[in-house]
Amino acid sequence: MKLPDIYCNPSQNEWPELCRRAEQDNSQIMERVVAIVERVAKEGDKAIKELAMQIDGVSLESLQVSEAEFSEAEAMVSAEVKAAIEVAKRNISSFHEAQLPREVRVETQPGVMCVQRPVAIDSVGLYIPGGTAPLFSTVLMLALPAKIAGCREVILCTPTNKQGRVAAEVLYTARRCGISKVFKVGGAQAVAAMSYGTESVPKVDKIFGPGNRYVTLAKQLVASRRTAIDMPAGPSEVMVMADETSLPAFVAADMLSQAEHGRDSQAIVVCNSVELAKQINDELNSQTQRLERGVYIAESLANSRIVVFDDKSQMVAFANEYAAEHLIISMEDAWSVAEKITAAGSIFIGNYSPESAGDYASGTNHTLPTSGWARSYGGVNIDSFMRKMTIQSLSTEGLESLAPTIVAMAEAEGLEAHAAAVKVRLEK
Amino acid sequence: MKLPDIYCNPSQNEWPELCRRAEQDNSQIMERVVAIVERVAKEGDKAIKELAMQIDGVSLESLQVSEAEFSEAEAMVSAEVKAAIEVAKRNISSFHEAQLPREVRVETQPGVMCVQRPVAIDSVGLYIPGGTAPLFSTVLMLALPAKIAGCREVILCTPTNKQGRVAAEVLYTARRCGISKVFKVGGAQAVAAMSYGTESVPKVDKIFGPGNRYVTLAKQLVASRRTAIDMPAGPSEVMVMADETSLPAFVAADMLSQAEHGRDSQAIVVCNSVELAKQINDELNSQTQRLERGVYIAESLANSRIVVFDDKSQMVAFANEYAAEHLIISMEDAWSVAEKITAAGSIFIGNYSPESAGDYASGTNHTLPTSGWARSYGGVNIDSFMRKMTIQSLSTEGLESLAPTIVAMAEAEGLEAHAAAVKVRLEK
């Protein structure tokens, strides 16, 4: 296996290259995505069923998961997994409940009351990708805050296996989160169905959830035209900041945990000694051999690297340049290093906070910004499921008092009707 | 002039048509926008200067506004407008300061600490369109929350007039808001400059501000690839909910205030009597004649309509379907009607809260979601300039306690390295 390259004290003009994520050329498939979306928009359920047969070889009668299927799923999930889901659900719920925003009221001047009112988005759609072992943890991460925020309608779309069945853990978890409407549709078709609505699938106001390139491009397409989405998506990544207080075995394990997500994923270590870098590589080597899918996982380290800086402030600056989706800080004074981080999705403090803890059950959300989007996006949280409307109410005195200001500005902007709307009221 | 049509008790299947905004076919110009953006990305300042000459006939030496130009601007703005700007600044600042989010800390289970930390976006770019009477109020609406949120870098781009000068009110207001970096560039070029950075213009993490179709499409382009934007944009609109407590003169004035924004803008009235509808139309007629640009403004009423419902709950349902950018509620129990509104950008309560109050100086933000985007977006507010990072810190006991949950879920998801990252720590 090829171990990550080690870079020593790279100069700042080399950083962009070191922070570069894997290239994603989506130009070929965008045309196909547009075609799928337009077809589902036009033909609804019929198109979904035809595409399921065409793309996945699956024959679907009903697109909606039935009560019987939910019950079968419940019986199939082990007690151990059910217990784990309860713990994760409790932690994720309590952290997200604490985020609920309050109304803000300010009387900016006498008789001029301004209010900022948070209101849940009415209808949201969650996408859960399929696969051999579907990531049901994402159901918790999206459904729980949607319900806590108060969204009236929360639906879920997920593709089936070749037998037309949805993974039991996904159905069980959806039901535990209070979701009753689950639809058997995947890919760009699912995004289109939720954006336009079909005979079976309700139209939603915002779409959440990860997916393959077809899903990602379809989300991008609808986001510019008609339906909001959670955030731009890209391959998963982790950066580990390490020093002499780290354990190389732990750092290597965290890198492999990330690499497990696939070829495009990336793990970057930023540390303060070449010796430590080599120890980490040794650990990567030995741990890869012990994992069942170790060879496959090792290939996914192709995009990974270790960067050594003598200077701690350089480590921090580099971390901020990278703007990691997941940032593990295994350093002395980790909290104080965290204070200096200006861009990251989710931060993990110390040696006993593996990324897996956040992925599943600490309480934080695992739907996080990748590819540097952490500079401008936060991860999914309660705000993602709400909007803040503003309200103003002026008394007659309030308007009289504010009138000269409004009129002066409107006239300076050449907007006489804006000024007139105030004047007509003053005349009364 | 053609007065708005009056519709009576339309059935629900007619509502989508009544709520329809003007069509916007942007397919022709997207190609041109892509070309401009690519050119500026590649050639920087040189491209900006060439395009300024080519498109606007303006010759620019330096792209950055100089101290001398700021001083000249200050001298040119009238004392009246300066005083108005101070009042608006004070109100907008106090309302946005009250929105500053706090850190959230929850120990979700013993030894598992989760934190949500709001952090200002590092670098933001504000776009202010040009024109004969530039809308300098937008400078307040974008710059003040950017500074209050704590963004380290706040830059502004705005096109010049044919003489290469930026409107004095824009420069004065920018300076009053603490912005020192203003660049003479407009259109898609400005968006490209802020997204990619040029020799003169810093690259930013997020771009804010309204603009023509070139600006809007350029923002859409970069938003999917590299740089976040505030929200999707479209023509301005107002909905007025009116009953016997309204004054037709006020309603008409508010419609004309909206129509003043141009042909694509829309004003919809929802009221409970045909008589009132006719009175509003009479007022529109007479007020249009009294305005200097009345004929032009009247043409912009082409997309406007009055919808009459006997039933108050239908009025509310229709308002929620429309999801207005600005919603004026001139009704009895206006606050209680507001409680039932699930989608609107900014709400105006009662007869003395004209939209102009919110546009300029009440304290609320005037950068609001149009075209039904209010269903999933709020207006620009403090959150728009921040992100919420999460942090977790597990003690050894916390991890030991959470381990069975993480391992059970990781193994059920087929992610053995995720489970191994926990197990390697338990072994220590």
> Does A128 share its domain with A276?
no
The helix (H) or strand (E) run that includes residue A24 is none
Alpha helix positions (H), B4-44: 15-18, 27-43
* Beta carbons of A352 and B399 less than 8 angstroms apart: yes
- Residue finishing a domain among B185, B200, B229: B229
Q: Is residue A35 part of a domain?
A: no
> Does B368 share its domain with B420?
no
Q: Is residue A30 part of a domain?
A: no
CATH number for A177: 3.40.50.1980
DSSP letter string over A221-254? HHHHHT-EES------EEEEEE-TTS-HHHHHHH
Q: Which of residues 310-349 of A touch B (CB under 8 A)?
A: 334-335, 338, 341-349
> Does A185 share its domain with A247?
no
Residues from chain B that touch A247, judged by Cβ atoms under 8 A, are 428
Mean pLDDT over A273-290 rounds to 95
Burial classification of residue B56, based on how many CB atoms lie within 10 Å of its CB (0-12 exposed, 13-18 middle, 19 or more buried): middle
Quote the CA–CA distance of B123 and B155 in Å, as a whole number: 8
> Does B293 share its domain with B204?
no
Quote the CA–CA distance of A11 and A20 in Å, as a whole number: 15
Query: Coil, strand, or helix at residue B414?
Result: coil
Distance from CA of A383 to the nearest CA of B (A): 9
Residue of A94, A377, A399 lying closest to B352 (CB–CB)? A399
> Does B307 share its domain with B348?
yes
Question: In one letter, which amino acid is A223?
Answer: A
> Does A135 share its domain with A221?
yes
**Domain region containing B373:** 5-17+234-378
Buried b (16+ CB within 10 A) or exposed e, B18-27: bbebeeeeee
> Does B336 share its domain with B261?
yes
pLDDT in tens, A235-276: 999 999 999 999 999 999 999 999 998 888 899 999 999 999
Residue of A112, A121, A425 lying closest to B363 (CB–CB)? A112
Q: Is residue A22 part of a domain?
A: no
Q: In what order do the strands lie in the sheet with A153-158?
A: A181-184, A153-158, A123-127, A206-208, A228-229
pLDDT reported for residue A261: 87
User: Are A387 and B376 inside 8 Å of each other by CB?
Assistant: yes
**CB atoms near residue B28 (< 10 Å):** 8
User: Are A376 and B121 inside 8 Å of each other by CB?
Assistant: yes
pLDDT reported for residue A122: 97
Token pair belonging to B200? 């003169």
Look up residue A383 and give its DSSP letter. Answer: G
Q: Is residue A111 part of a domain?
A: no
pLDDT reported for residue B191: 98
Residue of A91, A104, A379 lying closest to B390 (CB–CB)? A379
Token pair belonging to A224? 């510019």
Q: Which residue does chain B place closest to A103, by CA atoms?
A: B99
Quote the CA–CA distance of A79 and A36 in Å, as a whole number: 40
Query: Coil, strand, or helix at residue A194?
Result: helix
> Does A63 share its domain with A184?
yes
Q: Which residue does chain A place closest to B150, by CA atoms?
A: A342
- pLDDT surpasses 80 at A132: no
Strand residues in B78-217 grouped as ranges (E): 104-109, 112-120, 123-127, 153-158, 181-184, 206-208
pLDDT reported for residue B24: 74
- pLDDT surpasses 90 at B347: yes
User: Are A112 and B362 inside 8 Å of each other by CB?
Assistant: yes
Q: Is residue B160 part of a domain?
A: yes
Quote the CA–CA distance of B191 and B206 in Å, as a whole number: 10
Choice between A263 and A34, residue whose per-residue pLDDT is larger: A34
- pLDDT surpasses 90 at B408: yes
Nearest CA among A167, A315, A324, A192 for reference residue A246: A315
- Domains identified in chain B, total number: 3
Confidence bin at A303 (pLDDT 50/70/90): confident
User: Are B392 and A104 inside 8 Å of each other by CB?
Assistant: no
Q: Is residue B96 part of a domain?
A: yes
> Does B62 share its domain with B179?
yes
| Interface pTM, i.e. ipTM | 0.96
**CB atoms near residue B74 (< 10 Å):** 14
Confidence bin at A299 (pLDDT 50/70/90): confident
pLDDT reported for residue B22: 80
Q: Which of residues 125-184 of B touch A (CB under 8 A)?
A: 132-137, 169
User: Are A412 and B342 inside 8 Å of each other by CB?
Assistant: no
pLDDT in tens, B367-385: 999 999 999 999 999 999 9
Mean pLDDT over A356-370 rounds to 97
User: Are B418 and A257 inside 8 Å of each other by CB?
Assistant: yes
Q: Is residue B383 part of a domain?
A: no
**β-strand A266-271 against A237-242: which pairing, if any?**
parallel
- Residue finishing a domain among A210, A229, A248: A229
What's the mean pLDDT when you consider all of chain A?
Answer: 95
Confidence bin at B398 (pLDDT 50/70/90): very high
Instruction: Tell me which residue has tokens 């120890």.
Output: A279
Quote the CA–CA distance of A224 and A207 in Å, as a whole number: 13
Residues from chain B that touch A121, judged by Cβ atoms under 8 A, are 375-376
Query: Coil, strand, or helix at residue B311?
Result: coil
Instruction: Out of A395-399, B1-5, B279-283, pick the least confident.
Output: B1-5
Alpha-carbon dihedral angle through residues A48, A50, A53, A55, given to the nearest 10 degrees:
-70
Residue of B354, B386, B417 lying closest to A260 (CB–CB)? B417
Count Cα neighbours of A165 within 13 Å in the Cβ-side half-sphere. Answer: 12
pLDDT in tens, A308-324: 999 999 999 999 999 99
Residues 6+ apart with CB under 8 A from B110: B397, B398, B401
pLDDT in tens, B9-57: 999 999 999 999 887 777 789 999 999 999 999 999 999 999 999 988 9
Backbone angles phi, psi at A267, to 5 degrees: -130, 125
> Does B273 share its domain with B177?
no
Residue of B94, B404, B420 lying closest to A253 (CB–CB)? B420
Distance from CA of B180 to the nearest CA of A (A): 22
Confidence bin at B257 (pLDDT 50/70/90): very high
Q: Does B365 touch chain A (CB under 8 A)?
A: yes
Q: Is residue B23 part of a domain?
A: no
Mean pLDDT over A344-349 rounds to 98
pLDDT in tens, B76-111: 999 999 999 999 999 999 999 999 999 999 999 999
- pLDDT surpasses 80 at A23: no
Token pair belonging to B172? 């004065």
Confidence bin at A296 (pLDDT 50/70/90): confident
* Beta carbons of B252 and B280 less than 8 angstroms apart: yes
pLDDT reported for residue A302: 82
**CB atoms near residue A34 (< 10 Å):** 14
Residues from chain B that touch A85, judged by Cβ atoms under 8 A, are 409
> Does A59 share its domain with A204?
yes
- pTM of structure: 0.96
> Does B10 share its domain with B69?
no
Q: Does B413 touch chain A (CB under 8 A)?
A: yes
Backbone angles phi, psi at B222, to 5 degrees: -70, -30
Mean pLDDT over B340-356 rounds to 97
* Beta carbons of B284 and B257 less than 8 angstroms apart: no
- pLDDT surpasses 90 at B303: no
From residue A24, give the alpha-carbon distance in Å to each of A259, A374, B258: 17, 18, 44
pLDDT reported for residue B23: 75
From residue B48, give the alpha-carbon distance in Å to each of A129, B57, B163, B194, B199: 43, 12, 16, 12, 11
Distance from CA of B223 to the nearest CA of A (A): 9
- Residue finishing a domain among B229, B254, B282: B229
Token pair belonging to B187? 């259109």
Mean pLDDT over A278-296 rounds to 90
Confidence bin at B163 (pLDDT 50/70/90): confident
Quote the CA–CA distance of A145 and A154 in Å, as a whole number: 11
Active site residue A366: no
Token pair belonging to B364? 């609320």
Quote the CA–CA distance of A2 and A61 in Å, as a whole number: 48
Active site residue A261: no
pLDDT in tens, B58-69: 999 999 999 999
Burial classification of residue B270, based on how many CB atoms lie within 10 Å of its CB (0-12 exposed, 13-18 middle, 19 or more buried): buried
